[in-house]
Amino acid sequence: MNEPQALDPLRVAPRPVCAPRRPTRQIMVGSLPMGGGAPVRVQSMTTTRTGEVQATLEQIRELASAGAEYVRVTVNDQAAAEALPQLVREANVPLIADIHYDHTMALAALKAGIAKLRINPGNIGSREHVREVARAAQDKGVPIRIGVNRGSLHRRYDDLVKRDPAGALVQSALDEIEVLAAIGFHDVAVSLKSSTPAEVVEACRRFSAQSDVPQHLGVTEAGTLLAGTSLSVAAMSVLLAEGIGDTVRISLADDPAYEVKAAFYMLQALGLREGYARVVACPTCGRVEVDVVALASRVEELAKDLPPDRVISVMGCIVNGPGEAKTADLGIAAGKTKVAIYRKGELHRNIDKADLEQVLIEEIERLR
């Protein structure tokens, strides 16, 4: 009898992590589809003043380089509105205009050629303002995201939010969808956000059971890098595993490029998207004789443009180094003065630690 072939734990999941994606209608954000079976899209938002065109363009390009497929910019004043035509013209990803309070900013964004609008039903103003924006968006073929936030719900939901916070988020979105549908506008997405992951999960589940409108997933005001990533992934992974969600943003009080990277790592772990080459590194202990954290970070930087199926193992001692190297394209096991380099599980050579930087560059280049 043939022996069963062992699975490579770094490359192969023995069974799907996620349920089949729930069917949603598809919208087009620029030339990139969202929902309707399209890949789960990754987006982020600039932190610059939008009116500062060069700084904003630089950050848009950095986010696109990290993998962002859509980038949102705030349109909160006349300077931002006037900057949009150049931003739209020179950006290398579809731009989304983030609108609060002043519906005329949405009209200006549409005139500038924005790919998508985000409006907040809690502060955009009267229903007539919403209709005016929707008619203009319809004329341009531009979709609208109804971005519902727990912290800025319209006062009409004050009683409901006290009794049922998730229900208030869902009801606000459904009511706004109805306003748009009444004038024949159906090119919409929704987001149901709270700073509490459990509320986000409950609201998105309920909405998905009632509507085929595509969902943008996120936890608002999630926090700094570690806390924000943890809270966001806690909510989004549950929903994505259930087949809910068409685009994601991990909101962080940090460099927005981290939002993009964290989102791709999450989607890659769930088997929903290819992201980055995987760098496996030991958590360190008293046996290590090299700065594993610095070494792994350097390897990650050098490997950022590698194909996503590549695996690199970084180990700080000989206990797990050889074993981990067997399932990696490139293995590094560092000792006090020497470093063992493995290729495809086989010891390739031992080098002096002083030569490691140059050898890393050469070995990683081979994996391209």
Residues 66 and 114 in one domain: yes
Residues 263 and 300 in one domain: no
Letter string b/e over residues 266-285, b meaning 16 or more CB atoms within 10 A of that residue's CB: bbeebebbebbbbbbbbeee
Mean pLDDT of 343-351: 91
- Show which of 269, 286, 319 is a domain's final residue: 269
Residues 149 and 283 in one domain: no
- Please indicate, yes or no, if residue 175 is contained in any of the structural domains: yes
Q: Could you count the other beta carbons within 10 Å of the beta carbon of residue 13? A: 11
Residues 143 and 69 in one domain: yes
Q: Which residues contact 345 (CB under 8 A, 6 or more apart)?
A: 325, 326, 327, 328, 331
Residue 118's Cβ-side half-sphere holds a number of Cα atoms within 13 Å equal to 23
Number of structural domains the chain divides into: 2
Residues 126 and 241 in one domain: yes
pTM of the model: 0.90
- Please indicate, yes or no, if residue 234 is contained in any of the structural domains: yes
Mean pLDDT of 25-29: 98
Residues 112 and 78 in one domain: yes
**Residue 115: pLDDT band with limits 50, 70, 90:** very high
Mean pLDDT of the chain: 92
- Show which of 242, 269, 296 is a domain's final residue: 269
| pLDDT for res 64 | 97
Residue pLDDT, tens place only, 286-340: 888 889 999 999 999 999 889 999 999 998 887 777 777 778 999 999 888 889 9
Q: Which residues contact 84 (CB under 8 A, 6 or more apart)?
A: 50, 73, 75, 95, 97, 108, 109, 112, 113, 114
Full residue range of the structural domain in which residue 343 is found: 278-366
- Please indicate, yes or no, if residue 21 is contained in any of the structural domains: no
Q: Could you count the other beta carbons within 10 Å of the beta carbon of residue 110? A: 19
Residues 264 and 302 in one domain: no
- Give me the CATH number covering residue 130: 3.20.20.20
- Give me the CATH number covering residue 339: 3.30.413.10
DSSP label at residue 133: H
Residue pLDDT, tens place only, 33-65: 999 999 999 999 999 999 999 999 999 999 999
- Please indicate, yes or no, if residue 15 is contained in any of the structural domains: no
- Show which of 269, 293, 312 is a domain's final residue: 269
